[in-house]
Amino acid sequence: MSKRNSTEAKAERRQKYLAKQNRFSNPVAKPEQDYIHHYGFVPNDPYFENAAVAINQPDAKAAFRTKQQLQEYIDAGNVDELLCTRSGKGVVYISMFKSNPKWSATRKEMNMEEKEGTRCFYLVRHTKDYCAVLGGDKIDKKKWESKNPFYYSLNTYMVQTEHIKDLPDCEPTNEQIIQIGKRDEEVQPLTEAELDEYLASAKECNLRKWYEHNEDGLIIDEFPSPKGEVYFQPRKTDECWLNCTHFLPTIFTPTSIAMPRIETGNIYTGDWD
C-alpha cells in the first residue's frame, strides 16, 4: 500500500477537509447594533468581532467599527499598544472614515453633500501587520497591502486608548479634527536634528502659509520626555491641520466599498499629487 493510501494519510486528509469545512461554516456573528454589511464569508476570528462592516478577501482584510464598537474591541484586549519611546505614551494606529447612507457614487464621482446622518468608522492597524519591526523579516508589499487596505497617511493617526472616548461618532467638527492631529504629533515629536532637516527642506512661503509665527519668527513647541530629553514640533495653523487631517469619505454598497482618491502632498515643499 502506498503512503498516500495508508490509513494515517487518509485520516490526515480527512482532518484537513473537516478543518476547511468548519472554517467556512462558522462565520463571525453580526453585531446586534450598528450592523451595516459583511462582504462574503467573514470567519469567526477575533479580528472581525463586533464590526459594523467587514471584508475578508485575498487582497483585502478589514473591519470597520463605530466608536462604541472600537472601544469595546480595545477593552476586550484585542489590540496591542505601540510604545512611543520619545513621549513614553502607548498608542494604537487607527484609520478614520465617515459614511452616510444617503451618499451615492458613479464611476466618475461621489455625491457626498449630505451631512445629516453621517457616521464615523474606525479601522485598527494592528502593530504586527502595520509596523515594520527592526531586525524582522523583509516586508512583502502585497501581503502588507492585503492586511492594510484602504490606507492613506492623511487618515491614519496614533491615538492613545484613553482618548478613544473623544473621537467623533457623527460628522466630525473642525475642533475634533484639529485635536486628533495635534495629539498624534505630540506622542512622537522631532529631535533637533530632524527638525533642522525638515526646515532645511521647506520653502519659506509654505512655512509662512501653514505654520504659526510671531515677532521672533516660526513658533517651535517643546515636548519634554519622561527621560529628560526635549523634542520639538513647529506649530501648525488650524488651517494646516484641517488640510492634512481627514476622515476618508466612504460608501458601503451591498456589493462593494467605494472611496475617492485622496490628493496628498508635502506641506514643507508644496509638492502635491
Checking if the pLDDT of 36 tops 70, the result is: yes
Mean pLDDT of 49-76: 96
pLDDT tens, position by position, 113-140: 888 999 999 999 998 888 865 445 667 8
Cell numbers that stand for 74 in this block: 480595545
Give Cβ neighbours of residue 176 (< 8 Å, ≥ 6 apart): 166, 167, 168
pLDDT tens, position by position, 205-236: 989 999 999 999 999 999 999 999 999 999 99
* Dihedral pair phi/psi, residue 251, rounded to 5°: -120, 125
* Residue 207: alpha-carbon gap to chain centroid: 27
Task: List C-alpha distances in Å: 261 to 108, 154, 181, 227, 230.
Answer: 11, 12, 21, 42, 38
Q: For the chain, how many residues are written?
A: 273
Is the separation of the CB atoms in 98 and 119 below 8 Å?
A: yes
Give Cβ neighbours of residue 14 (< 8 Å, ≥ 6 apart): none
Cell numbers that stand for 256 in this block: 462593494
Give Cβ neighbours of residue 40 (< 8 Å, ≥ 6 apart): 55, 56, 57
Would you say the pTM of this structure is higher than 0.75?
yes
